[in-house]
Amino acid sequence: MDTAKKGQLIVVGTGISVAGQMTLAAKSHIENADIVFMGIMNKVGEHAVKNLNPNSISLDDLYQEGKSRAVTYDQMVDRIVQAVSEGHKVCVAFYGHPGVFVTPSHEAIRRVRELGLNAQMLPGVSAEDCLIADLGIDPSRFGCQSYEATQFLFRDYRIDPYMTQIIWQIGLVGEASLSVLDATHNQPGLVMLADILREHYPDNHELIIYEAATLPICEPKIQKILLSELTLAKLTLISTLVVPSLGLPEYRQDRLAKLGLTEQQVINYRNPSIN
């Protein structure tokens, strides 16, 4: 009988504001792990995790100025997988939702499963969850399109201006070296972003620059500007751009007719929605 201890991996999210946003399941896995690796953006969050499990180790030492983030992420994965392969019960706690803009979480799970060991991810409160609550946006009302800013610039996406647009990481828009860790190099990309949006929206269309609160004592940053003012905006690495919908498009009468419905029936169906 094989009595060797088999390692396992649980990846959890601590929420955007760790205090109050960490789920009970995430807390339990942190407390019961042999080792906890942390990818959390502030010391308050790290302190909260260390209080749950003293054997918690930050991954921040792998970041270095001028070093490609791709290399850093690979090294994070190597460290995590090594600990699991040694037979440890490993928990990795990432800021926000561990599956949203967290490359190492997905790769670590893939590699651990390739070893025939158990690996799973638990959800956490993401920046998008905070955005919906803070801005009062219901993604189902107009529909929603979501992009990473640099990919938005360089790929041939089809924007639907009747849908809400959420463009993440605009502080790094146009930056593709994976070595820049501040928002001072984004001006050319921001100009291009504004030009793309002008193809679909008027200059006086109101935009929202949003940053979720990362501490319980802080408020979210919500700045409303016009499209014409976008290139002058002061951004950070956690700035998100929200482009509100132009409004609902007209109904397709041919599709309604095929199902024998009227516009009012569809409106009445939509209004009672609670999910």
Catalytic residues: 69, 73, 95
- The DSSP annotation for 147-209 comes to EEHHHHHHS-----TTSEEEEE-GGGTT--SS---SSSS-HHHHHHHHHHHHTTS-TT-EEEE
Contact between 57 and 88 under an 8 Å Cβ cutoff? The reply is no
DSSP assigned state of 58: E
> Cα–Cα–Cα angle for 132, 133, 134, nearest 5°?
100
Q: Is 230 exposed, middle or buried (0-12, 13-18, 19+ CB in 10 A)?
A: buried
> Cα–Cα–Cα angle for 107, 111, 113, nearest 5°?
120
Could you tell me where the DSSP H helices lie in the chain? 18-21, 24-32, 43-52, 69-85, 103-114, 127-135, 139-142, 149-154, 187-198, 253-258, 263-270
